[in-house]
Amino acid sequence: MSGGGGGVAGAGCSYQKFVHFALEQTRLRTSLAPHPSQGKFKSIRANEDNTVFSALSFTAPKIRLLRSLTIEQKNSVQKNLYSFQLLFVASFLRLMAAAQIMWLMISFHHSPHSSSVQLMSSYVQADLLVLMVDMMMQVLDFAAFSEPEYDLPIFCANAFTSPARSIVVLDLNPLYDTTTNKDYREKYYRNLMPLAHKYTELLPWGGKITSESLKFFSPIVIWTILEPTETNHGILYSAFTDYYKAWLELMDVASRETGREAIDRNREAQHKYLTWRAEKDPGYPLLKKLIGESLAKDLVTEFLFEGVNSLGTKSFVDYFPEYARDDGTVNKKRSMMGKSFETRPWDAHGEFVGYADER
């Protein structure tokens, strides 16, 4: 029954607490003002009544955009009623079957075996659990982007939780690929490596991943797939708070770049990141299903990855030419390289060792 137990715990695993923590901590250090995108998306509604979107976005000194989206899908009343009718019928049939077994045993002068009754009642319990976990989903997409005057990493917390599992990415995504930019790696991640070590066992590497994603991940990334239990939710909360506090500290001490070239470079790096995610985010198909294609597109370009249409003019295929098709359109594939990296591809010092491992 471990799967069912995990699922039931998952039901209570809201991500609201994560968002509250982050906003509270941010307000202790700086003053948040509503971002213009908040107006349009604050009261976004899903096609189904049982699904609730909460979207918040802010700006602050040094912070171009801090935005949060949570999606919570609960059992709808209608589906509940229907489910309980079904449950009632199923349980009734099982009880009838149990009674029949007992009657047969008594008529053949056997004493009714209590384990057969227990078996039936455990089936009934299993039904109940399945119904309770059915249709539950929790999504967190929280990110913070600095002004282009700063080369700060992008805070990125994404979690998709269904009754079966939680898919999680938690990271301070580097503005510059840390394998090719050693100075950037030293500047931001050297001191943060202990944070990654703290969670490598509790939140183990989630296995093979879309290879393109790795370029946007840092050596401290938490990429994991978990059973959605209360315990795991608690560990994830702890990791989220640690990582967010680390980002806030970097933000606090970050000094403003003054050179035009450096600022332009930061802006383009952020634009490249936004362009990648706005085009290839794994959550997009689900968003389309929940709110329709047109609103999903707006949510992605004007809210989640706001800036994709204003921070730069380069197109997706300018940044990622391997996705260009002969007719000039973007290849719809999520990945050209496929998935790789069965194990964590960085060593304890944050050195990339992925390709050595793959061989």
- Cβ closest to ligand BLA, residue 174 vs residue 350: 174
Check residue 10 for interaction with ligand BLA (CB under 6 A): no
How many other β-carbons are positioned within 10 Å of the β-carbon of residue 111?
Answer: 8
Q: How far is CA 135 from CA 73, 138, 158, in A?
A: 7, 10, 20
Q: Which of 1-9, 174-182, 242-250, 277-285 is the region at the interface with ligand BLA (rule: CB under 6 A)?
A: 277-285
Among 58, 142, 216, 305, binds ligand BLA (CB under 6 A): 216
Check residue 283 for interaction with ligand BLA (CB under 6 A): yes
Beta strands 63-73 and 222-226 are: unpaired
Min CB(125)–ligand BLA separation in Å: 29
Site residues for ligand BLA, window 132-161 (CB under 6 A)? 139, 141, 156, 158, 160
Site residues for ligand BLA, window 69-128 (CB under 6 A)? 71
Check residue 167 for interaction with ligand BLA (CB under 6 A): yes
Min CB(342)–ligand BLA separation in Å: 13
| Identity at 120, one-letter amino acid code | M
Check residue 3 for interaction with ligand BLA (CB under 6 A): no
Check residue 282 for interaction with ligand BLA (CB under 6 A): yes
Q: Are 305 and 37 in contact (CB under 8 A)?
A: no
Query: Which string of x and - marks every residue 301-340 that binds ligand BLA (by CB under 6 A)?
Result: --------------------------------------x-
Looking at beta carbons, which residue is closest to ligand BLA?
Answer: 283
| Interacting residues with ligand BLA (CB under 6 A) | 71, 139, 141, 156, 158, 160, 167, 169, 173, 209-210, 213, 216, 277, 282-283, 286-287, 339
